[in-house]
A and B are shown apart, each in its own frame.
Chain A
Amino acid sequence: MATRGFSGRGRDAAAGQPGRLPPGQFLTTDFPVLSAGPTPHVAREDWSFRLQVGPRPIKSWSWSDFIRLPITSVTRDIHCVTKWSKFDTAWEGVSIDDLLADAGLEAPTQFVLAHSYDDYSTNVPVKDLLGGRAMVAIAYDGKPIPAEHGGPARLLVPHLYFWKSAKWVKALQFTERDEAGFWELRGYHMYGDPWREQRYTGD
């Protein structure tokens, strides 16, 4: 049923590209910052990233190791559960495929729990990280990722709601089961597909 007197405003921004905005989203040209707590500041010399299977570390990289890995550039639309979407965001980083290749590892389970420096976590199925669908990003718009946007490095999984693109990522942990991360434990959807509007638990 229509809301009396409402016709929408600023719809033209996305009107030329029907179907590009997921349901319930609005287009922004800003890049809003959202987080659960204060911004951690991690210096590159202190930064490391590791893959682990359950509690067992498999491989870790220092910053200087990491930037020697193959760097991929992608331009993607991103969608935040708080309703904003931003088109054509440009990122550079190491694809999860290349990380696994460097570790000499095939994904040992079907699920991953990503861990961040501020103790944030979020879960993503392995199939959503492979085949070029995800990376550990180290640059946004041609420059190092600012701390408030998740730098030095963040996970990037743009086809899911952006809370899955864990800022300040430090590890990917392969898990036997799909383990709920920080927001998933607090009412947010386990998978988070913006095209099915999977914002909250039960959606």
Chain B
Amino acid sequence: MQSRAEKLVWQSASVAAIEPRTPTVKSFFFRLAQPVSFVPGQHMDVRLTAPDGYQAQRSYSIASAPESAGPVELAIECLADGEVSPFFHETVAVGDEVELRGPIGGHFMWRVDDGGPVLLVGGGSGVVPLACMLRHRATRASAVPVALVYSARTAADLIFGDELRSLHARRDGFHFLPTLTRETNPLPGVRVGRIDAELLGDALACLPSLPKIAFVCGANAFVETAADALLGLGIAPATIRTERYGG
């Protein structure tokens, strides 16, 4: 939890790099004027200012592990009717400056020291804070049992897909269970279909015992479906933490 003494201030951040992740998601790497320490799961607020003084603010989950020395990575999905994300995708270039504030969020967070087993359930760009938790776990060479259920439209839409598959291949207690909802040409062995109790049950079966904590992140409808299914599978409500991306 953030201490009462730390006031969050806006600071300048320059774009150090931009990396496409999927057809609709790009990672933006920000060099902060004043580096911050954060816990996986937290997010940064971003502020843009127009010449007439008009300002827009949005929140984006931090994707990079807290241990990584370089710029902070935010993975931003382009929303067709959005105001800020299309600006990032279409206009922002390396060297540009924006304002950031954070880290923010005192509930949807996990560190290796919090223990497990952990169940992670992500839909679309909801995987970003969960990937941060996994990158942190990998950096710490932790063996805490974790299962990630990740629902995306097609294989190309799996953000950090290669990285998640290679973490799974380490066989160090992390299990990756992707599911694709609109894939028409799945590779053999790739699950197709929406998230449901059966898939979540398969994820729970990968863990040595019931999860100590479960994190569910994505659009509201996805989170409702997943959380209700977890309750139906006997997971205690107090162990489920949700982060809902708007509607």
Contacts and interface: CB of A to CB of B under 8 A. Distances in A.
Interface string B230-247: 110000011011101011
B83 A9 contact: yes
A32 B224 CA distance: 13
Given A1-B49, A7-B51, A26 B231 contact: no
Contacts of B83: 8-10, 26
B241 A202 contact: no
A185 B4 CA distance: 9
A203 B86 contact: no
Given A3-B96, A26-B83, A40-B237, A185 B1 contact: yes
Interface string B198-232: 00000000000000000000001000100110110
B241 A187 contact: no
A201 B242 contact: no
Interface string B95-139: 011110000111110000000000000000000000000000000
Interface of A is mostly: loop
B57 A83 contact: yes
B49 A3 contact: yes
Contacts of A203: 7-8
A7 B87 CA distance: 9
Contact of B86 (A2, A9, A118): A9
A34 interface: yes
A183 B104 CA distance: 11
Given A2-B50, A9-B86, A10-B83, A186 B107 contact: yes
B104 A187 contact: yes
Given A33-B247, A118-B237, A6 B104 contact: no
Interface string A108-149: 000000000011000000000000000000000000000010
Nearest to A147: B224
A32 B4 CA distance: 29
B241 A37 contact: yes
17 contacts: A2-B50, A5-B91, A7-B51, A8-B56, A32-B220, A32-B247, A35-B242, A36-B107, A37-B240, A37-B242, A83-B58, A118-B237, A182-B107, A187-B1, A187-B104, A202-B8, A203-B8
Interface of A: 1-11, 23-24, 26, 30-40, 82-84, 118-119, 148, 182-183, 185-188, 200-203
Interface of B: 1-2, 4-8, 47-51, 54-59, 81, 83, 86-87, 91-92, 96-99, 104-108, 220, 224, 227-228, 230-231, 237-238, 240-242, 244, 246-247
